[in-house]
């Protein structure tokens, strides 16, 4: 069972599983209201899945600053009955979380067992969901900077802006890991099939860059002049929600589980390029 199946990651995960002959219940928000505990319990009871992957989330980071209660209802409160229902029926739960559970003050990649300390409402709500999953023995997969063929994302925005002739100003003081949803979907499948010890795993492509460095790589792949991308500071683009300056995630847990971490973000972006650049209206 995949919740949030209409989103970028959910769509790629559903397609991958179906292509491998798995029986998949792909549930969008219209199919299942995660904020209805009785509906969640009934869905798990009647579908009898072996695995639930919860890709559903409130992802409007800035809106969460003024609507934290609503964001918490999806990212935190709704996860508790889902985790309890899965545990009660012997179902493996994989829950997607975020680098925003960290405060961004580190200078080396965050380990999976690093204490969380979110600096914005979105991060607080996702941390609440993590606690519920871990309490019931599930898997938390933290990810970041997702891009894919099935929704709006930074890569597609840069492709659109590159079509113009103006300089594009992008912040160079936020560090992270661009992550292809198809790579993450495959890593989730490997995790479930290997069935290592439950806990936290970091599902990001390897390496690190800034939004500025990421944008320049996109321009290069387009054949556009990367020097049209100009570095700037987050202070020049104030947003309602504070962004962690450093959200790079470490991948030690994969090795302990006998699994290989995800590949470098540049290699992934090159392989993703035909699907991203040719994925329809930008």
Domains detected in the chain = 2-153+177-207+248-263 (3.40.50.720)
Rounded-to-integer distance, Cα 125 and Cα 77, Å: 9
Q: Measuring CA to CA, how many Å separate 87 from each of 39, 217, 240, 269?
A: 16, 43, 37, 36
DSSP 171: E
Residue 219's pLDDT is: 97
- Print burial letters for 198-218: b (CB count within 10 Å at least 16), e (below 16): bbbbbbbbbebbbbbbbbbbb
Catalytic (active site) residue 110? no
Point out the catalytic residue in the list 122, 139, 201, 246.
122
CA 226 centroid distance within chain: 27
pLDDT given at position 279? 55
In Å, how far are 110, 117, 245, 252 from 106, measured between CA atoms? 7, 11, 9, 17
Pairwise CA distance, residues 230 & 38, whole Å: 51
pTM over 0.85: yes
Give residues with Cβ within 8 angstroms of 225, minimum separation 6. 219
- Averaged over successive runs of 10 residues, the pLDDT of the chain (282 residues) comes to 97 97 96 97 96 97 98 98 98 98 98 98 98 98 97 94 94 98 98 98 98 98 97 95 97 98 98 83 38
Question: Does residue 274 sit in helix, strand or coil?
Answer: helix
Contact indicator for 148, 11 with CB cutoff of 8 Å:
yes
CA 209 to CA 205: how far, in whole Å?
11
**Range 60-96 burial, b when 16+ CB lie within 10 A, else e:** ebebbbeebeebbebbbbbbbbbbbbbbeeebbbbbb
* Strands of the 139-143 sheet, one edge to the other: 26-27, 2-3, 51-54, 92-98, 139-143, 199-202
The whole-angstrom distance between residue 67's C-alpha and the CA centroid of its chain comes to: 21
Length of the chain: 282
- Crossing angle of helices 265-277/211-222, nearest 10°? 50
The pLDDT assigned to 270 comes to: 97
Q: Which of 144, 116, 274 is nearest to 207 (CA)?
A: 144
């Amino acid at each position: 069972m995949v919740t949030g199946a209409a989103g970028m990651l959910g769509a790629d995960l559903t397609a991958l599983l179906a292509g491998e002959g798995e029986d998949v219940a792909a549930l969008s928000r219209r199919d299942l209201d995660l904020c209805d505990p009785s509906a969640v319990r009934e869905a798990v009871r009647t579908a009898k899945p072996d695995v639930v992957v919860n890709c559903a989330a409130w992802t409007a980071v800035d809106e969460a600053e003024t609507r934290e209660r609503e964001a918490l209802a999806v990212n935190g409160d709704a996860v508790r009955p889902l985790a309890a229902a899965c545990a009660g029926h012997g179902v493996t739960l994989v829950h997607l979380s975020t680098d925003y559970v960290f405060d961004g003050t580190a200078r080396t990649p965050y380990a999976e067992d690093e204490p969380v300390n979110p600096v914005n409402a979105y991060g607080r709500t996702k941390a609440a969901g993590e606690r519920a999953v871990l309490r019931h023995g599930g898997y938390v997969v933290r990810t970041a900077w997702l891009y894919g063929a099935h929704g709006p994302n930074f890569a597609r925005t840069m492709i659109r802006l590159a079509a113009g002739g103006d300089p594009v100003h992008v912040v160079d003081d936020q560090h992270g890991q661009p992550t292809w949803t198809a790579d993450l979907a495959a890593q989730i499948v490997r995790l479930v099939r290997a069935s290592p010890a439950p806990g936290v795993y970091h599902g990001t492509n390897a390496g690190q860059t800034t939004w500025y460095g990421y944008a320049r790589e996109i321009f290069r792949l387009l054949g556009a002049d990367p020097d049209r991308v100009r570095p700037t500071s987050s202070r020049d683009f104030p947003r309602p929600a504070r962004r962690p300056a450093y959200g790079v995630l470490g991948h030690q847990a994969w090795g302990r589980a006998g699994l290989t971490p995800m590949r470098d973000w540049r290699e992934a972006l090159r392989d993703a390029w035909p699907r991203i650049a040719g994925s329809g209206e930008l």
